[in-house]
């Protein structure tokens, strides 16, 4: 079955530390890739997305992610986190053989940034 694995369930960092959240998926075909973020008390919102082209994509708030096709990975990075980045982060995959509609989400990674 298709799945999305996020390597860490909880991450605790100090402000200014660098962040990398891992995401791997098990699907061999063409995919759309997403990272969503859910800040405390807010609803899920799009952080960044990869459809095609440059495998390094930049999103809001200084986040970026790199699609490595050979590794089936789409890791999220930020060079210097802030307290306001405390949130839950979800990686998601649309296999395009479903028309790009059906989305599989990872279990999420809770990030806590210490001020």
Partner 1 sequence: GAGVSQSPSNKVTEKGKDVELRCDPISGHTALYWYRQSLGQGLEFLIYFQGNSAPDKSGLPSDRFSAERTGGSVSTLTIQRTQQEDSAVYLCASSLGQGGRRETQYFGPGTRLLVL
Do residues 24 and 106 lie in contact, with contact meaning Cβ atoms separated by under 8 Å?
no
Query: Shortest gap between Cβ of 56 and partner 1 (angstroms)?
Result: 17
Contact between 49 and partner 1 per CB under 8 A: yes
Residue with tokens 């807010």: 42
Distance CA 37, CA 111 (A): 10
Contact between 86 and partner 1 by CB under 8 A: the answer reads no
Distance CA 54, CA 96 (A): 18
CA distance 61 to 81: 10
Q: How far is the CB of 78 from partner 1 (least distance, A)?
A: 21
Tokens of 67: 């699609």
Q: Which is nearer to partner 1, 1 or 115 (CB)?
A: 1
Question: Which SS3 state, helix, strand or coil, does residue 83 take?
Answer: helix
Instruction: Kindly state the smallest distance separating residue 29's Cβ from partner 1, in Å.
Output: 13
92 token code pair? 């998601």
Q: Which of 16, 44, 56, 60 binds partner 1 (CB under 8 A)?
A: 44
Nearest distance in Å: CB 13, partner 1:
21
Among 80, 107, 112, 114, binds partner 1 (CB under 8 A): 107
Using CB under 8 A, list all residues that contact partner 1.
Answer: 4, 6, 32, 34, 36, 43-46, 49, 51-52, 90, 92, 94, 96, 98-108
């Amino acid at each position: 079955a298709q799945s999305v694995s996020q390597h860490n369930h909880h991450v605790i960092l100090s402000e200014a530390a660098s962040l990398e959240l891992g995401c791997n998926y098990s699907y061999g075909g063409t995919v759309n890739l997403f990272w969503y973020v859910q800040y405390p008390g807010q609803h899920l919102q799009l952080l960044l997305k990869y459809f095609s082209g440059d495998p390094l994509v930049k999103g809001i708030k200084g986040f970026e992610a790199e699609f490595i096709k050979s590794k089936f990975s789409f890791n999220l990075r930020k060079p210097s986190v802030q307290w306001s980045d405390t949130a839950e982060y979800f990686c998601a995959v649309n296999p395009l053989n479903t028309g790009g509609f059906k989305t599989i989400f990872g279990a999420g990674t809770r990030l806590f940034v210490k001020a």
